[in-house]
Structure 1
C-alpha cells in the first residue's frame, strides 16, 4: 500500500463492496471495494504503575544505581525522567552518590497521551 509504513501483519483486513445487493453475472473490479484495516492489538494510553516504576527506590552509595521506570501502553511509550530540571535516562546505570537522592518526575508519552509518576530515590551508605 503506497505510503503505508506499518506492517500489515498487525491488522485484520476487510474488503467491503460498495453495495450489499447481489447482481447475478455482474462483477466489480477490486478497486471499487472499500478497504478497512482493523488493528489486532488495540492501542492504549501510557501507564506508570508500581510494578514497572516503583515509587520508592534504594541505591547504595559507591555502586551503580539504576532508576527503574518502565511504562505500559501501545504504541510503546517513551519514558523521560528528571530531577531539579536535569534529565536522567531510566534504566541506565549511574554512579550512586548522595547527590542523586531525591524525587524524580518520570513522564511516559505516546500518541494517545501522557502519564506521570514521582519516584523517590534513597541513597544509603
Structure 2
C-alpha cells in the first residue's frame, strides 16, 4: 500500500480529520480529536504508527519481524510502527488501520461516540 492509498483510506473513515500538529512532515489522523494513525511523510520506506491491542501487537511483531515493530516515538506497549510499502499485504494494512480506529472509538466517551454515530 502506498501513502496515497493509506491517506485516502484513513480520511474516508467517519469522523476523521488530518493535520500536522507536530511539524510539516508528520501527518496525523484523528477520530473525534483522538489520534489513531501517525505517518512520517519523509521516512523511507513509508511507515505509519497505528494503535494496537497489546497482546495482538506482540503477535504481529513476531509474525512480521522487521515489518511491524514497536511504535517509534510512541508507547511501545500500545502502538506499532508498520512499514506499509514493504511485503505486508494491503488487506492486512487495512485491517490494522481499522483496528486502530476501532480502539480509539471504543475509548471515546458515550457522548462523543453518539456524536460520531450522528455524523
Give the alignment's TM-score, normalised by structure 2.
0.24
Q: Return the index of the structure with the highest Cα Rg.
A: 1
Give the alignment's TM-score, normalised by structure 1.
0.23
